[in-house]
Structure 1
Amino acid sequence: MAKYLLLIFIILSAASFFVSNALLVVKTDHLADLEEDHQELSESYEMMVGSQQLYIDELKNLSMSLSSLKSERDKLEEENLRMGELNSSLDNSLFGLENLLGVEHQTNIDPLRAEQLTIEANKRLFFLHSIPNGVPIQAIRISDKFGPRIHPVKKKRVVHQGIDFKANRGTPVYATADGIVEYGGYNKRSGFGKLIILQHNFGFKTYFAHLDAIKVKSGEFVSKGQLIGNSGNTGMTTGPHLHYEIRHLFTAINPEPFLSWNITNFDSLFTKVKGVKWASLKEMYPLNQHSQLLQ
């Protein structure tokens, strides 16, 4: 009996082993299939995520490009607006320059016209810096003019070779054109006292006499409007003032037309002042304001 039971147990165990082994093989194969499917799904998911991220990056790049384009467009619109305002301002400035120069107006100011106006303005400014003009001092008044007079100290009739500006002692005195200091010191023989002589272009000189103080030295270059001294009462004088002369090739000429000479009445000097041969300047500057340059 025991033998039969043992045989049955062995048969059942063997059957159970083979069945379990078969099931294990099936489960293993199924698990392998599942793992393979999982791997494929994982790879597909990663591809999908990668593609999505690529789309996101592309969208970001596109958004940045659109933003950049909008910024560039806004800058261009601002630049166009600014250029329009600049052109309008430039047109107004050039029309104003025509008025300042006293030349004939043109309806349209093109680049050539603008260049001509600029050349004309620069020429005038060059001469206004080279030839004495304007007042040398902020004076109380003109106390004596150019021409014959009774000398206040000598008490005899002489030619007054300059203009006297009544001014308090210490009033600043300025150069009326670019130049070089020919002399700066006390000149006893002339009666001018402390005197400054400046040399300018085209044979002009200016004299500043009866000074209280001299701010420049001989040989020094000076520019128009530069402080050169202070008015005083030195030399042969009866009171504090500035004696101012303009000379051309050693000949004194009336300074009065030069006092009011400026860029707006530029051509007037060449007709008012007869002692200078202005015609010889024509090679450097067309004295006729209606010259071909500005027609």
Structure 2
Amino acid sequence: MRRKLVLTLTTTRGSRQIFLHQLLAWLLLIFLLLSAASFFVSNWLLVKTQDDLVSLERNHEALNEQYQLLLGTQRLYISELGDLGESLNSLSSEYAKLKEENALMGSSLSDLESRLGLSDRGSAQTLEQRIELAQVAARQRLFMLHSIPNGVPIEAEQINDSYGMRMHPILKRRKMHNGMDFKADRGTPVYATADGVVEYAGYRKGSGFGNLVVLQHNFGFKTYYAHLQKVLVKSGTFVSKGQKIALSGNSGRSTGAHLHYEVRHLYRPLNPKPFMQWGLENFDLLFTDVEDIPWESLSAMYPLNQAGPQ
């Protein structure tokens, strides 16, 4: 008879016998079940871990790409900051230069306003208005200075005879002298004292002027240039202020080389002296010293009636 190991379990409900081979069988079955469960769980955990590792690796790569992108952006940002700094430095330099130029311009504008007689009108106006007003005033003055005779017509050694009554050097009697006589060598250039048109250019018989140039100017003015050696312009042509129109000489009724210069308004001779002294620095002087001309009517003429900013 085979021997069997028997375990007896006694409880309050009674006794129960368990054979050892049955216990071993149950233990083996449980072990196999646990091993199988452990195998499947381990494989599941391994697969899940691998998936997590793959996901982590992808996340790492994505983070690395983002880091590189951020690094590049940071470098670009730093570069842009550097460029911006340079631009700001350049702008600051330009601003300082502009302030200096504005100060110089303001000084120049004040000087121009003073010369134009506008210095007492600029305090209540903007810089743009002051510049515009100065431009209008300058254009008006330049137009007048190009239209009405002013300055001297020749670089002369001296003035021999002025405007007024005198003892005529040839006729030997007192006679009205309608102009200025400038002592000058033959061939000295003679210049137009204003823009105009040549009314006469040539030898004037019976006048005593000899070779003569007569220029018509704006507002009814004329200038006469007499006793010339040579005439350089033709009748009917236009001339500009400062243009060389003749060479001084001794033609006609004359005792020596000189230039006889006259200023006339509507055929009436005027004293050339105020016109010779007139310029931008004393622009208003002519309109007060020469009283025989109705200057007030000029204000209605274009472009003199173009007012600047109020």
Normalised by the size of structure 1, how large is the TM-score? Answer: 0.74
1:87 to 102, 111, 117: 102
* Contact 1:139–1:166 (8 Å) recurs in 2: yes
- Residues 198 and 54 of structure 1: CA distance in aligned 2, closer, same or farther (over 3 Å): same
Structure 1 residue 142, shift from structure 2 partner: 0.8
2:252 to 207, 212, 235: 235
Q: Which has the larger radius of gyration?
A: 2
Partner in structure 1 of residue 132 of structure 2: 115
Partner in structure 2 of residue 197 of structure 1: 214
1:268 to 279, 285, 289: 285
Q: Secondary structure at the match of 1:184?
A: strand
- Residues 63 and 259 of structure 1: CA distance in aligned 2, closer, same or farther (over 3 Å): same
Distance in 2 between residues matched to 1:108 and 1:92, nearest whole Å: 17
* Contact 1:104–1:294 (8 Å) recurs in 2: no
Where does the alignment leave 5 or more consecutive residues of structure 2 unmatched?
1-57
Task: Name whichever of 204-213 and 270-279 sits farther off.
Answer: 270-279
Task: Name whichever of 212-221 and 141-150 sits farther off.
Answer: 212-221
Structure 1 residue 115, shift from structure 2 partner: 2.2
Instruction: Note the aligned Cα RMSD (angstroms).
Output: 3.2
Structure 1 residue 59, shift from structure 2 partner: 5.7
Letter in 2 for 1:102: G
Task: Name whichever of 235-244 and 219-228 sits farther off.
Answer: 219-228
Partner in structure 2 of residue 98 of structure 1: 113
Aligned-residue sequence identity (percent) comes to 51
Q: Secondary structure at the match of 2:169?
A: coil
Structure 1 residue 135, shift from structure 2 partner: 0.7
Partner in structure 2 of residue 220 of structure 1: 237
Pair 1:154 & 2:171 matched: yes
- Superposed CA deviations along residues 157-214 of structure 1, whole A, max 9, x for unmatched, are 2211111011111111111111111222222321211211111100101111111222
Partner in structure 2 of residue 282 of structure 1: 299
Letter in 2 for 1:236: R
* Contact 1:94–1:109 (8 Å) recurs in 2: no
Distance in 1 between residues matched to 2:116 and 2:166, nearest whole Å: 38
Pair 1:65 & 2:80 matched: yes
Letter in 2 for 1:219: G
Distance in 2 between residues matched to 1:80 and 1:177, nearest whole Å: 44
Distance in 2 between residues matched to 1:169 and 1:71, nearest whole Å: 67
Letter in 1 for 2:169: P
2:155 to 138, 147, 153: 138
Q: Secondary structure at the match of 1:282?
A: helix
Structure 1 residue 270, shift from structure 2 partner: 1.4
* Contact 2:132–2:309 (8 Å) recurs in 1: no
Distance in 2 between residues matched to 1:191 and 1:173, nearest whole Å: 19
Structure 1 residue 114, shift from structure 2 partner: 3.0
Structure 1 residue 133, shift from structure 2 partner: 0.5
- Residues 55 and 273 of structure 1: CA distance in aligned 2, closer, same or farther (over 3 Å): same
Q: Secondary structure at the match of 2:130?
A: helix
Q: Secondary structure at the match of 1:247?
A: strand
Structure 1 residue 60, shift from structure 2 partner: 5.6
Distance in 2 between residues matched to 1:104 and 1:62, nearest whole Å: 52
Distance in 1 between residues matched to 2:77 and 2:147, nearest whole Å: 64
Q: Secondary structure at the match of 2:223?
A: strand
Structure 1 residue 79, shift from structure 2 partner: 2.1
Q: Secondary structure at the match of 1:181?
A: strand
Structure 1 residue 71, shift from structure 2 partner: 3.0
